[in-house]
Amino acid sequence: MLNIEHVENLSEELYIMIDSEFNKFAKKNDVVCKYVPFSFIAKDEDKIVGIITGNSYYKEVHIGDLIVLEEYRNKHIGTKLVKAVEDYFKNKGFENMNLTTYKFQAPDFYIKCGFKVEFIRENKEDSKLNKYFLVKYF
């Protein structure tokens, strides 16, 4: 009998299985997956003050999270982290960087970084939760 379980944290073995299956399916469809997680951190001396994470796959780079500690905001750290991702992946065969953010978070910040709004999914109950889909082409 099939059982479905909620799992809080995946093991390394399961991440390997996910990667393997994505790559097998891509190869079967004559597509190169190139799935690679990435992280860049910003440090002030030894203190981590910001981090950007995501994944590269197929022909795109997806930013998952960007966090700058509150007391370090408005010092261009987020801009430098986004630029680090762009510089790292530019000229490596990827076509774009993309991400999602909510209205209350940072759509204006990403637009200032050169991203374009592709789509806005409106939240019917709270406009602060309108979800922005953004892209920046290399």
Give percent of the chain with pLDDT exceeding 90: 89
Residue 32: partners with Cβ closer than 8 Å, 6 or more residues away: 26, 58
Give the number of other Cβ atoms within 10 Å of residue 56's Cβ.
21
What residue segments make up the domains of the chain, in order of their start? 31-137
The average pLDDT across 64-79 equals 97
Domain 31-137 has CATH 3.40.630.30: yes
* Token reading at 39: 């992280």
Query: Can you give the pTM of this predicted structure?
Result: 0.88
